[in-house]
Structure 1
Amino acid sequence: MTDEDRPSVFAGIEEGDTTVTQGRTITEADVTNFAGVSGDFNHLHTDAEQMSESMFGERIAHGMLVVSAATGLLWQDRTPEEREAVVAFYGLDELRFRQPVYVGDTIHVETEVLETRPTDDGPGNGTVRNAVEILNQRDGVVVSCEMTSLMQ
């Protein structure tokens, strides 16, 4: 089957569609590895002694670690056909860190399609813009944003 014969996943996406992912616990290893990979060794994430006296009471996970873990949860939630249809992560807007995430917190992601926009040129059939909320185990919103993907 050629790409031209394959049904468009983009065509089946409608505004208002929602998803809820499985959960993922943020671990000590996640925070340590993310600090190493990103080079972000800010005391908020790496200094337990200093953070014990802070307003948070302990170290917090990097906000971008939480966003990165959320993109992984969203990827894992996709069907094989949907994975094949993703051309690119197209953008991130309105990013807000609402509450801290601590080592041991379990996050999941909830999305709603806000807009689908067909494209006439370039790769893909269109963009899909989603409202995204990342929630902790107490259903508190820890991060909110809009994510856009370019889809076949």
Structure 2
Amino acid sequence: MCTASFTSGRLTVSSLQEEALSADVSAPIDLLEGRYYEEVQVGQRFIAPAVTITESMITTACGLFQDLALLHRDHRIAAENGFRGPIAPGALTMGACIAPLALIIGKKTATHLTDEITYRAPVYAGDTLDIEIVAVRREEKSRFGLIEYATHVTNQDGQKVADILTKMGHAYAPKGSA
């Protein structure tokens, strides 16, 4: 099992540390290189960089998605509905939390099939979201390998804010490359 995490702006990859220490540090690293189907195993965990949601992000998301709900912009309306302040639109939360899949699949994508999300708690401006992605199922298809990822999202207080199940199609490694 490989565990990768970002801490204080530094990437920590436990199973790859020795290889990284001996690597040519002058060579650029393509973060979107990604992994072929054969390179991801069930149970493999990925810790994505934390994302802090800002008021500006909420405002931009409301405009971009034409989300006119006052719950996202009006402190009084949010308070009247039991929230401590305006909450982030669900589309913003989901987008911020599934975007790290690009670092896993990268250029080796075949297709992004589905996302199922369950919101567990509101996300507010100032919340920092910690994102853990786990490969939970693999299935070989004719043109690509299907991998299901469970994404677990918590805020800075450790409160679970969302769970996402994503199905992605990974390209197979070229024949003879394994």
- Could you tell me the TM-score, scaled by structure 1's length? 0.83
CA distance in 2, matches of 1:88, 1:109: 22
Structure 1: 5+ residue runs without aligned partners?
A: 1-7
Q: Does 1:144 align with 2:163?
A: yes
Contact 1:99 1:141 in 2 (8 A): yes
| Matched-pair identity in % | 23
Q: Does 2:161 align with 1:104? A: no
In structure 1, the partner of 2:66 is: 39
**Helix, strand or coil: the match of 2:123?**
coil
The alpha-carbon deviation at position 97 of structure 1 amounts to 0.5
**Counterpart in 2 of 1:133?**
152
User: Deviations 1:101-137 (Å, cap 9, x if unpaired)?
Assistant: 000001121111111111114xxx2111011111111
Q: Describe the superposition over 1:61-112 as per-residue Cα deviations: whole angstroms up to 9, x where unpaired.
A: 111211101122332x44xxx411022211112x211001000001121111
* Separation in structure 1 between the aligned mates of residue 67 and residue 131 of structure 2, nearest angstrom: 24
Which amino acid counterpart does residue 92 of structure 2 have in structure 1? L
**Structure 1 residue 53: Cα displacement:** 3.3
Give the deviation of 1:44 after TM superposition.
Answer: 1.0
1:30 maps to 2:57: yes
Counterpart secondary structure, 2:77: helix
Q: What does 1:113-128 align with in structure 2 at a 5 Å threshold?
A: 113-121=135-143, 125-128=144-147
1:146 maps to amino acid: L
For 2:123, the aligned partner's letter is V
Q: Give the equivalent residue in structure 2 for 1:84.
A: 107
Length-normalised TM-score, structure 2: 0.72
Q: Structure 2: any 5+ residue segments left out of the alignment? A: 1-34, 172-178
Aligned to 1:9: 36
Superposed displacement of residue 9, structure 1: 1.3
Cα deviation code 1:15-47 (max 9, x no counterpart): 111111111110111100100010111011021
Question: Cα–Cα, structure 1 residues 11 and 86, in superposed 2: closer, same or farther, change >3 Å?
Answer: same
Q: Displacement of 1:14 after TM fit?
A: 0.8
RMSD value over aligned CA atoms?
1.5
For the pair 1:48 / 2:75, whether they are aligned, the reply is yes
